[in-house]
């Protein structure tokens, strides 16, 4: 190990070696990340795609959303030209690699391709990962899938240039909440240091991720905060919702950060924001300050995530969904 690497200790040397061999042998690789990709999912996948391209291989990258579009916040990421719509994705890829997806279901429309793939390498850091591949590089101690991805690139001998580092840094900085969450270990900072050393523009990345919004966002945020309800039972829960109607013309992706305002409330250990997608389904984001394991409850409701940040989908009205969630958190 030349770099003072990461916490990928739960992955066996044999699995690393097999992944390296599979990737070295392949000329064309199909990469996928989870639906509604976040910075870690898309960043890790594009970083790996860019590295494969630099190594002279063909990489196709996608995610299985019905309305295939990169969230506005992530359009600054390099490597977008590697992306293809799910309909253009290979039906039976010889080698498929998934990033940050904890279950097969999280691949959405790409599930049949994953099922038919010759080899399916699963790269992830969710403790709840269901192990749906033929080879698993899963490290629940890693702060981000980007951490595991960087280690794999290192083992492949593929250099991390500025564009690749921009993608990996986006995964690292988003999944650690700007290096504020408890997952921010010394090795996370060491990795950030390696990425900064490539000359990435970390201030511009932060502005793209967190410090931009169209004017109409202010009114949608104001409405969500006015509807917030504090339920003091148990450890306390604060929740609010944003329906399609509440959102007006504001794209769904713009309301991602509202949970970060709601979760500030001192009187609540758990914060919940229900966001209705254009398809009418409610995506439920949950956050815990630590006393409550939200991943457990979200898994029971068909979703998943981490102990302190998890989510699931619901077709019930917001108040009913919250009532069901509350029962499981008790």
Residue 112 or residue 177: which is nearer to Mn ion going by CB? 177
Residues 299-328, one symbol each (x = binds Mn ion by CB under 5 A, - = not), give ------------------------------
Q: In the bound complex, which residue of the shown chain has the CB atom lying closest to Mn ion? A: 40
Q: Is 111 helix (H, G, I), strand (E, B) or coil?
A: helix
Which residue, 184, 136, 193, is CA-closest to 165? Answer: 193
Residue 183 or residue 314: which is nearer to Mn ion going by CB? 183
Pick from 65, 100, 208, 269: which binds Mn ion (CB under 5 A)? 100
Minimal distance in Å, beta carbon 175 to Mn ion? 5
Q: How far apart are CA 204 and CA 169, in angstroms?
A: 12
269 makes contact with Mn ion (CB under 5 A): no
Residue 114 or residue 144: which is nearer to Mn ion going by CB? 144
Minimal distance in Å, beta carbon 330 to Mn ion? 28
Helices (H), the chain: 13-25, 39-54, 111-116, 145-156, 162-175, 186-196, 202-210, 216-226, 244-247, 258-262, 294-300, 318-329
Minimal distance in Å, beta carbon 291 to Mn ion? 23
Q: How far apart are CA 52 and CA 18, in angstroms?
A: 17
Within positions 10 to 69, which residues make up the interface with Mn ion, using CB under 5 A? 40
Residue 40 or residue 242: which is nearer to Mn ion going by CB? 40
**Stretch of 2-10, 86-94, 142-150, 268-276 lying at the interface with Mn ion (CB under 5 A):** 142-150
Contact 166, 205 (CB under 8 A): yes
Residues across the chain: 330
Q: How far apart are CA 256 and CA 101, in angstroms?
A: 19
Residue 26 or residue 147: which is nearer to Mn ion going by CB? 147
Residue 184 or residue 243: which is nearer to Mn ion going by CB? 184
Contact 269, 290 (CB under 8 A): yes
Minimal distance in Å, beta carbon 225 to Mn ion? 27
Size of the site for Mn ion (CB under 5 A): 4
Q: What does the DSSP 8-state code read for residue 142?
A: S
Minimal distance in Å, beta carbon 187 to Mn ion? 16
Minimal distance in Å, beta carbon 132 to Mn ion? 16
Residue 132 or residue 239: which is nearer to Mn ion going by CB? 132
Minimal distance in Å, beta carbon 130 to Mn ion? 15
Residue 124 or residue 220: which is nearer to Mn ion going by CB? 124
Minimal distance in Å, beta carbon 136 to Mn ion? 15
End-to-end CA gap in the chain: 45
Residues 167-206, one symbol each (x = binds Mn ion by CB under 5 A, - = not), give --------x-------------------------------
**Stretch of 65-73, 95-103, 190-198, 283-291 lying at the interface with Mn ion (CB under 5 A):** 95-103
**Stretch of 9-17, 64-72, 97-105, 254-262 lying at the interface with Mn ion (CB under 5 A):** 97-105
Taken in order 230, 232, 233, 234, the sign of the CA dihedral is positive
252-282 burial, b if ≥16 CB within 10 A, otherwise e? bebbbebbeebbebeebbbbbbbbbbeeeeb
Which DSSP string corresponds to 251-296? -GGGGTTHHHHHTT-TT-SEEEEEEE-TTSPEEEEEEE-SSS-HHH
Binding site for Mn ion (CB under 5 A): 40, 100, 145, 175
């Amino acid at each position: 190990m030349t770099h003072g690497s990461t916490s990928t200790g739960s992955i066996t040397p044999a699995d690393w070696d097999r992944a390296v061999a599979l990737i070295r042998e392949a000329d064309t690789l199909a990469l996928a990340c989870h639906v509604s990709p976040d910075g870690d999912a898309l960043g890790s996948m594009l970083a790996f795609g860019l590295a494969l391209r630099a190594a002279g291989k063909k990489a196709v990258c996608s995610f299985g959303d019905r309305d295939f579009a990169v969230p506005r916040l992530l359009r600054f990421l390099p490597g977008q030209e590697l992306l293809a719509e799910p309909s253009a994705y290979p039906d039976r890829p010889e080698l498929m690699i998934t990033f940050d997806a904890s279950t097969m279901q999280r691949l959405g429309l790409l599930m049949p391709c994953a099922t038919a793939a010759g080899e399916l390498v699963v790269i992830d850091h969710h403790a709840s990962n269901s192990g749906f591949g033929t080879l698993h590089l899963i490290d629940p101690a890693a702060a981000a899938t980007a951490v595991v991805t960087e280690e794999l690139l290192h083992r492949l001998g593929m250099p991390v240039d500025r564009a690749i580092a921009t993608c990996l840094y986006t995964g690292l900085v988003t999944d650690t909440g700007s290096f504020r969450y408890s997952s921010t270990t010394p090795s996370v900072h060491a990795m950030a240091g390696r990425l900064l050393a490539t000359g990435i523009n970390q201030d511009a990345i932060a502005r793209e991720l967190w410090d931009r919004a169209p004017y109409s966002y202010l009114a949608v945020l104001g409405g969500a905060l006015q509807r917030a309800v504090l339920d003091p039972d148990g450890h306390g829960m604060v929740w609010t919702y944003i329906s399609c109607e509440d959102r007006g013309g504001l794209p769904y992706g713009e309301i991602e950060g509202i949970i970060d305002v709601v979760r500030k409330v001192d009187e609540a250990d758990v914060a919940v924001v229900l966001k209705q997608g254009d398809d009418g389904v409610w995506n439920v984001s949950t956050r815990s300050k630590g006393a409550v394991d939200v991943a457990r409850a979200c898994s029971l409701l068909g979703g998943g995530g981490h102990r302190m940040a998890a989510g699931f989908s619901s077709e019930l009205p917001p108040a009913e969904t919250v009532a069901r969630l509350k029962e499981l958190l008790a």
